[in-house]
Structure 1
Amino acid sequence: MPVPEAYAVQVARDVNTLLAKVSGYLKPEDLPLLVSAFMFSAACHKDQARKSGEPYITHPLAVADILADHHLDAQAIAAAFLHDTMEDTGVSKLELIDKFGKPIAELVDGLSKLEKLEFQSKEQAQAENFRKMLMAMARDVRVILVKLADRLHNMRTLDAMREDKQKRIAAETLEIYAPIANRIGLHAIYQELEDWSFRYLHPMRYEVLHKALKAARGNRREVVGKILESIRHKLVDARIEATVYGREKHLASIYRKMQEKHLSFSEVLDIYGFRVIVQDVPTCYLVLGHLHALYKPRPGMFKDYIAIPKPNGYQSLHTALSGPYGTPIEVQIRTQDMHKVAQSGVASHWMYKSGDDGVSDVQQKTHQWLQSLLEIQSMSGDSVEFLEHIKVDLFPGEVYVFTPKGKILTLPQGSTAVDFAYAVHSDIGNRCIAARINYDLMPLRSVLKTGDQVEIVTAAHAKPNPNWLNFVVTGKARSHIRHFIKTMRYEEAVQLGERMLSQAVRALMNHAVEIPPEAWERYLRENAPSRRDEILADTGLGKRLGVVVAQRLLTLAGLLAEGEARPGPILIRGTEGVAVQFSRCCNPIPGDPIIGLIKQGQGLVIHTHDCPQVVGRHGRIDPDKLLEVEWDVPPGKLFDVQIKVLAIHERGVLAQIAAAISEAGANIENVRMDNDAEGDRYTEISFTVQVENRQHLARVMQTLRSLETVVRIHRLKTGH
């Protein structure tokens, strides 16, 4: 498609403007690279147009211009010109390496989608593309800087897209790209991405709020002016040099506050904030004192992000004051260097080469986060799971907690002691058994608050508990626990499969027989590509029946005796782990007659012999899916069982029943009460108690029946 003359003139003007902009901070020898990258991109995209009708080259040019505003280096700006060439024009990575060098080609490759691979769903394709981009970002942070500039320009020009695409792209931006911009400290880009997303996801609400904000500017101009003047006079009187200005909060932020606090727009009074920029850190605290003398501070609203910076390196003092007419005022106080980092985050590394501690600190924090991405990636089973872990860590809201040595760790809101343990080190997380929070022994699921001091107690032979997944919130903790469970499940499945295979062989041959290596080799060739451990794991997880595997191995070894015997029972000890599960539909305990049901992907599931889950329509058990099992439980092993007690509704009845259960030597794991059962005279209490076996349960129930307050008691089986 030939480029219209008007567009060609505009593009030429924009290129010259961009080159003039970068000349202010790049070396003269860098400019030919940018001209070459632009010319190559223009040639590649010459027959392409955007949805708006503009020549496609206007998009790479706009992305490069956004990066130039952040003083990105020549390689990043060249990559911005070229970022769509691999994906949209068929240019190969080798061709880019040949023309522009490996670093630029790697940046462009990190930004290109995996179009040629086949995925099972759009979600999987999206997740795999994010994983590729984030892994490239972990190697070179400029990948995400180019991507954010690309997304920002796309959001600015989203009007040309269909409404359904607008909403899909806006939702993706709000869910992934805006939080990433916030996480690496690109505050201005974060706010603009949020506002554009809000505009396209909720167009009516955006329009109403936009008009209301416009009207409020005039109404509140006098109040804002008065506050600004008061602050400036106060600081001049105190002989403090400072720049003071008001800033209007962005629409998405105002809308979020209205939602969270259930307010109307007229009730959101603090749509204006104020910022004070000073020369050094001591002056920040001096200004804070003078502002608190000028206007009353609002209790509990002060935050010191200078002493404890945010994870993205952001530093400021935040305080909230009651201004004239009770108007709430939010003020940020920071140094000039802090302001640079607050505006540009990790990009300040390129913008301000001053070598100050603030910039090096934000680089270090970003590097630590990028390394955590690599660690989570190595633990995640697939791209969808990886993206799920990453999303958790992207959303704002932090708590600041202390190690026993006084080191500060930043964790997401809602983090628990287990999240803290994994944040310290993955080995600490894997081996933690308890936590001391502010010197008190507390459960591992305890939610941490800012200021808590946390000490983790570990044990050499401890291992992660699958139940931790119900309460941990950080991506690192979730990925490590899931990885351990998968590994543990595999190892235990191998061990169970070996036992099941040995018992099947013994039953078929009437004595123990060792399968010769040659038989195993032939069997593995028949089931290629497989390893011995995989066959055993499949047997333990129910993907293969032990008796079938045993028969084939014995046949290949020439050892199968005439006639066929059923395998003997598998002994259930209650210590097998996740490869053997006790069904919740009937809650079997030692002493109950049991049967083993092979379930694909779950291993061996133990049921009571009369459980409806294993009994067919005509009362017969399907023999092909069942294995004979018997209890062989060591002393001291406890099993959960549910009982329901109907008791007279009177004061202290729960304490009386709980004491009786304890006297009978059982632990109470959970309790639930219903005071309205059978009228007001009775209360129904459901207990989950831990007992050794059926006889132990009988003693507990007998003890409870002897209580005068107990009317009725029975064991609860969910399936019945």
Structure 2
Amino acid sequence: MPASSSASAAPSAATSSAASAAGSFVPSPVAAEPPDPLAGVELAPLRARIAFLSQEEQERVERAVRFSAEAHLGQKRISGEPYVTHPVAVTEILAEWHMDVQALVAALLHDVMEDTAITKQTIAEQFGKVSADLVDGVSKLDKIEAHSQEQAQAENFRKMILAMARDVRVILIKLADRLHNMRTLDAVRPQKQRRIARETLEIYAPIANRLGLNNLFRELQELSFRYLYPLRYRVLSKAVRAARGNRREVVGKLTAAVQERLPQWLIEAEVWGREKHIYGIYRKMVEKQLTFSQVLDIYGFRVVVKDIPTCYLALGALHELYKPVPGKFKDYIAIPKGNGYQSLHTTLIGPYGTPLEIQIRTREMHQVAESGVASHWLYKDSADGMSDIQQRTHNWLQSLLELQSTSGDSTEFLEHVKIDLFPGEVFVFSPKGQIYNLPRGATAVDFAYSVHTDIGNRCVACRINGDLMPLRTELKNGDQVEIITAAHASPNPAWLAYVRTGRARAQIRHFLKTSQQEESIALGERLLNHALRGHGLTLGAFSSAIWDRLLREIGAHNREEVFTDIGLGKRLPAILAKRLAALIESVGAEDADGQPVKPRAPGSILIRGSEGMTVQLAKCCRPIPGDPIVGLMCKGQGMEVHMNDCPNLSRNRADRERWVDVEWEPDGERLFDVAIRIITENRRGVLAKVAAAIAEQQSNIQHVSMDGERAAHTQIYFTVQVSDRPHLARVMRALRRIPEVVRIARLRSTEQK
């Protein structure tokens, strides 16, 4: 031990003085040897796995091992092991994929920037810029101004994803890091186990699947399930072990039957049964409401042949051996999955009604299915077929960069990425025959945005298989989709309720936010100008110096931010106007001609009714031009325009600072919805007469419903469109002239049927 060594090396004071008195020579204390940073670390497995590297590269890895051990010297894992055992284990996982030396070095050093004083510059000087960039991409952000752990996690994830978009090795290192952490999660307290397991199941396992790392994907799922639902995991694993003996006999017989039939068709193939994973069993039980025995009665087999034509020949042989289940055939060779996976899937009914799920693929497809994007490094010699998955991965990573540019913050970005991580199940075609891979439940709007952002933003209708269909229609496999666009169309906020892809959701939100900000700036400027008139001022009276003082006081970056906050109701224009008036008192305000500003009456803000998202007509009273109105600022939403006698407005009388004087702008051209109730005699043809009278007054009917509970009379509820109050009066006069009409009244929205 170092402590005992230094204690024994230091001579006592008595010995020292006695020796001096005797005049004898006393040697200097011997310094203790520093502890070996690699003591107790088993390196043989790593050395065996990096044998594929050149001698020079192996020496570089050895140097990185020692560098990492020295940096982490004295640090322990929760299990009590030296911390360096973790980066060594992560590097072993990457070495199994034959990753290059830059990635292996980065894996050995992936925690040094986060947990030690080592800087990125030091790593770059010692091991090169590429490895340093990889370490930086995996490392968490040092200082994040986050309000919660979730926000901090989202910001770190965003940083990692953007680094991964530049170099996919970043995520491969992170996945290997997460896999080893999951394998050693026993040492962590249960609450943290569940948090890490949930994060792994929701984010890292889907990423592994998206990159085609099937084995890693399955293991992460199994480990996450084990720690997230420990009791369910134990019950199912025990049941699987108990059933394994009986299943082995059935699998053996079915395998023998398949192996006997294929040579009869001159097909050389490897055939083996696929073991069901516990989490896969659990998901199938939950999603399809099946019992354990029902799930376990489905047997899976994999058939690997030499080339693509033989795949289809093997399919024919197996369909002749056992009857296929209609609708259970999928050709992922002709139409690969988004992660590059290719295979033929078919379900057969075997002897005694036993269902068989069979996958048929080539050896190259099998390599990609098991190793995904890592097969680029693992199978460098067999380059055929590798370019496709690399291109797909590149396209996906570029889509992440696009999501980043349109997402408002890290939490929103994480939400969009989670949506896109789940594998696509629907393949649809454009009119030109191009194939698009979309998630289950995707709609025509999702398709439009997958084609191009401008197509999505301007879409107004769609044709599916030649028929006009609503934009919210869910797409099915094989649908041909044509999007109809209009030059001045824009995204509808209602689309957010049913779009499924992260790309569509991000682009819609981005457009709405941009539009809302522009409208908010314009409205905020009008509101502040209006509030300043009460002080005899206008916005033009303020110098840049006064604006700078105001911005410093309220903590805003620029005038546009102030106007936006006013337009969204986050700041009150009256308060800001009062502060600006106080700042200018000592200077005095002048107009454009240098003359002192004279006070003017504040006046009212003019409302057109078509301002956009920042000025909304209240749905509780549905005002129309001609109605006396008042504006109410709603925090984060802008201004709502109410009728003066609206009950909802009276509830806000205590907060009069949020009220704004508004008037209708004359000569508006927009049509407004109004609800009316008509009580008529219950006679044949009365509805047609009422509809004709409304149409004669150039009014559109938006909605109609009837209540015929009374025997003698019928209540008819209409939503009609009018330009103003006089227009509504003309419509109601025309309706009163119909003999069968007993009573007519305008309704507020809350009174509607």
> TM > 0.5 between the two?
yes
Gap change, CA 1:92 and 1:566, over 3 Å in 2: same
Amino acid paired to 1:522: I
Aligned to 1:625: 658
Say which SS state the counterpart of residue 150 (structure 2) adopts.
helix
Counterparts of 1:589-600 in structure 2, within 5 Å, are: 589-600=624-635
Say which SS state the counterpart of residue 362 (structure 1) adopts.
helix
1:172 & 1:229 partners in 2: Cα distance?
Answer: 42
Counterparts of 1:188-267 in structure 2, within 5 Å, are: 188-267=215-294
Say which SS state the counterpart of residue 718 (structure 1) adopts.
helix
Gap change, CA 1:268 and 1:704, over 3 Å in 2: farther
State the Cα distance separating 1:291 from its structure 2 match: 0.8
Aligned to 1:367: 394
Aligned to 2:449: 422
Q: Is the 8 A contact 1:616 1:622 kept in 2?
A: no
Say which SS state the counterpart of residue 641 (structure 2) adopts.
strand
Answer yes or no: is 1:301 the counterpart of 2:325.
no
Q: Is the 8 A contact 2:299 2:356 kept in 1?
A: yes
Aligned to 2:404: 377
Gap change, CA 1:611 and 1:218, over 3 Å in 2: same
Aligned to 2:200: 173
Aligned to 2:749: 717
2:621 & 2:714 partners in 1: Cα distance?
Answer: 24
1:63 & 1:193 partners in 2: Cα distance?
Answer: 14
Aligned to 2:486: 459
Q: How many residues align?
A: 708
Gap change, CA 1:200 and 1:600, over 3 Å in 2: same
Amino acid paired to 1:717: S
Structure 1 gap ranges (5+): none
2:714 & 2:191 partners in 1: Cα distance?
Answer: 54
1:7 & 1:326 partners in 2: Cα distance?
Answer: 62
Aligned to 1:584: 619
State the Cα distance separating 1:557 from its structure 2 match: 2.5
Gap change, CA 1:593 and 1:212, over 3 Å in 2: same
Identity of aligned residues (%): 59
Correspondent of 2:540 among 515, 519, 527: 515
Gap change, CA 1:259 and 1:544, over 3 Å in 2: closer
Aligned to 1:60: 87
Amino acid paired to 1:312: N
Gap change, CA 1:562 and 1:431, over 3 Å in 2: closer
1:354 & 1:655 partners in 2: Cα distance?
Answer: 78
State the Cα distance separating 1:342 from its structure 2 match: 0.3
2:40 & 2:693 partners in 1: Cα distance?
Answer: 87
Answer yes or no: is 1:17 the counterpart of 2:17.
no
2:340 & 2:559 partners in 1: Cα distance?
Answer: 51
Correspondent of 2:551 among 527, 540, 544: 527
1:337-383 CA deviation, whole Å, 9 max, x = no partner?
A: 00000001000110111464421110000111111111110111110
Query: Which deviates more, 439-448 or 199-208?
Result: 439-448
Q: Is the 8 A contact 2:533 2:600 kept in 1?
A: no
Gap change, CA 1:621 and 1:152, over 3 Å in 2: closer
1:201 & 1:78 partners in 2: Cα distance?
Answer: 33
Gap change, CA 1:288 and 1:645, over 3 Å in 2: farther
State the Cα distance separating 1:475 from its structure 2 match: 1.1
Aligned to 1:606: 641
Say which SS state the counterpart of residue 412 (structure 2) adopts.
helix
1:652 & 1:26 partners in 2: Cα distance?
Answer: 89
Aligned to 1:410: 437
State the Cα distance separating 1:425 from its structure 2 match: 1.5
State the Cα distance separating 1:292 from its structure 2 match: 0.9
State the Cα distance separating 1:708 from its structure 2 match: 6.7
1:634 & 1:406 partners in 2: Cα distance?
Answer: 50
Gap change, CA 1:648 and 1:19, over 3 Å in 2: farther
Q: Is the 8 A contact 1:542 1:599 kept in 2?
A: yes
1:555-607 CA deviation, whole Å, 9 max, x = no partner?
A: 65235979855421212112211121122333333333211012333222211
2:152 & 2:677 partners in 1: Cα distance?
Answer: 49
Gap change, CA 1:558 and 1:679, over 3 Å in 2: same
Q: Is the 8 A contact 1:277 1:333 kept in 2?
A: yes
Say which SS state the counterpart of residue 41 (structure 2) adopts.
helix
State the Cα distance separating 1:388 from its structure 2 match: 0.7
2:99 & 2:296 partners in 1: Cα distance?
Answer: 38
Answer yes or no: is 1:89 the counterpart of 2:116.
yes
1:412 & 1:350 partners in 2: Cα distance?
Answer: 29
1:444-487 CA deviation, whole Å, 9 max, x = no partner?
A: 22222111111222233332222222222211111111111121
Gap change, CA 1:631 and 1:212, over 3 Å in 2: same
Q: Is the 8 A contact 2:37 2:73 kept in 1?
A: no
Q: Is the 8 A contact 2:424 2:437 kept in 1?
A: no
State the Cα distance separating 1:432 from its structure 2 match: 2.1
Amino acid paired to 1:20: A
Aligned to 2:650: 615
Query: Which deviates more, 206-215 or 457-466?
Result: 457-466
State the Cα distance separating 1:542 from its structure 2 match: 3.4
Correspondent of 1:637 among 652, 670, 682: 670
Answer yes or no: is 1:276 the counterpart of 2:276.
no
Answer yes or no: is 1:318 the counterpart of 2:351.
no
1:78 & 1:698 partners in 2: Cα distance?
Answer: 81
2:378 & 2:628 partners in 1: Cα distance?
Answer: 73
Counterparts of 1:532-543 in structure 2, within 5 Å, are: 532-543=559-570
* Cα-Cα RMSD: 3.5
State the Cα distance separating 1:635 from its structure 2 match: 5.8
Say which SS state the counterpart of residue 578 (structure 1) adopts.
coil
State the Cα distance separating 1:268 from its structure 2 match: 1.3
Query: Which deviates more, 559-568 or 487-496?
Result: 559-568
1:610-646 CA deviation, whole Å, 9 max, x = no partner?
A: 22333257xx575422111122375652334456789
State the Cα distance separating 1:652 from its structure 2 match: 12
Q: Is the 8 A contact 2:338 2:392 kept in 1?
A: yes
State the Cα distance separating 1:219 from its structure 2 match: 1.8
Say which SS state the counterpart of residue 249 (structure 1) adopts.
coil
Say which SS state the counterpart of residue 750 (structure 2) adopts.
coil
State the Cα distance separating 1:48 from its structure 2 match: 1.7
2:712 & 2:189 partners in 1: Cα distance?
Answer: 64
1:667 & 1:48 partners in 2: Cα distance?
Answer: 76
Q: Is the 8 A contact 1:524 1:530 kept in 2?
A: no
Gap change, CA 1:561 and 1:160, over 3 Å in 2: same
Answer yes or no: is 1:80 the counterpart of 2:107.
yes
1:28 & 1:598 partners in 2: Cα distance?
Answer: 72
State the Cα distance separating 1:203 from its structure 2 match: 1.1
1:438 & 1:22 partners in 2: Cα distance?
Answer: 54
State the Cα distance separating 1:701 from its structure 2 match: 6.9
Gap change, CA 1:6 and 1:296, over 3 Å in 2: farther
Q: Is the 8 A contact 1:403 1:455 kept in 2?
A: yes
Structure 2 gap ranges (5+): 3-34
Gap change, CA 1:481 and 1:280, over 3 Å in 2: same
Correspondent of 2:610 among 545, 553, 575: 575
State the Cα distance separating 1:22 from its structure 2 match: 1.7
Q: Is the 8 A contact 1:276 1:334 kept in 2?
A: yes
Amino acid paired to 1:630: E
Gap change, CA 1:208 and 1:631, over 3 Å in 2: same
Say which SS state the counterpart of residue 301 (structure 1) adopts.
coil
Correspondent of 1:558 among 585, 590, 594: 590
2:330 & 2:711 partners in 1: Cα distance?
Answer: 51
2:194 & 2:716 partners in 1: Cα distance?
Answer: 49
State the Cα distance separating 1:433 from its structure 2 match: 2.3
Aligned to 1:436: 463
2:693 & 2:301 partners in 1: Cα distance?
Answer: 64
State the Cα distance separating 1:662 from its structure 2 match: 7.0
Aligned to 2:22: none
